Amino acid sequence: MNKKSLLNLLLCATIITFSISCPAQTFIKAMAGVDFAKMQGKPNPQNDLYKIYDKGYSVESLSFGLGVEHKLSEAFSMLLLTYYTNKNISAEFCENCIAQERGFAFSYYRTTLAPILTVKENWYVGLGSSMNLINKVNVVYKSKTRGASSENKLEYGSIFLVGFKYSNFTAELSYHRGFKMDEKVDNPRFLFEPVNSFGLHFGYKFKIMNKRKGGRVDCPKL
């Protein structure tokens, strides 16, 4: 792990520790929905090996999230959430030739830390940072078997979200913008631009800690 990644992890840990130490309500948040990603291969002047078939945010997949929301006041909270999805990307590996490859597949983990602000009754917005893991990109053949894979890739980005809450239920629309891909890959077919995506998720929050008057925090009564 390089110094920059270590500093990011330490910063996240510091913010989370500070949030947890404050007297506040804490929720476990579970989410499910769909993710629409925009995938692009990184230009390679030495060898144009493949072309990804993406008409703009057309790589659709189911997405699941699990995280912790720490409510610091009636209008403000901190959210730490990890999404998981599995991407299957169609691609052409060469023109005017018989190729057995038909695309790529990989698991994608997105971890987001964002402040959440309630702006009007049940509506809220959030803007935060993300550190994501692209787990071993595999070549997928026409026979649906998988071939060579790359090493894991770290990606850094930001996320903007807007949502509606009713009781403990939430409906949320998000946009993720990837800024940098931290990768060291010799094979040019595994080089990608940072991922951009839209997401639509529905969730439910389970309260695990109540706030008492005077700043004391206890677990909720069953």
Strand partners, 113: 80, 129
pLDDT of residue 119 exceeding 50: yes
Residue 174, SS3? strand
pLDDT at 30: 95
User: What is d(CA 217, CA 121) in angstroms, rounded to the nearest whole number?
Assistant: 25
Token pair of 58 as six digits? 């057309």
Q: What confidence tier does 219 reach under pLDDT thresholds 50, 70, 90?
A: very low
- Identify which of 129, 45, 46, 136 has the alpha carbon closest to the alpha carbon of residue 80: 129
Average pLDDT over residues 172-189: 79
Strand partners, 43: none
Domains of the chain and any CATH numbers = 3-218 (2.40.160.20)
Burial zone of 71 (CB within 10 Å; 0-12 exposed, 13-18 middle, 19+ buried): buried
Q: Enter the pTM of the model.
A: 0.74
- Identify which of 90, 30, 59, 67 has the alpha carbon closest to the alpha carbon of residue 197: 59
Residue 129 corresponds to which amino acid?
S
The model's pLDDT over 59-114, given as tens digits with 9 standing for 90+, comes to 788 999 999 998 888 889 999 999 999 888 877 665 545 555 567 888 899 999 99
User: What is d(CA 175, CA 173) in angstroms, rounded to the nearest whole number?
Assistant: 7
User: What is d(CA 112, CA 170) in angstroms, rounded to the nearest whole number?
Assistant: 17
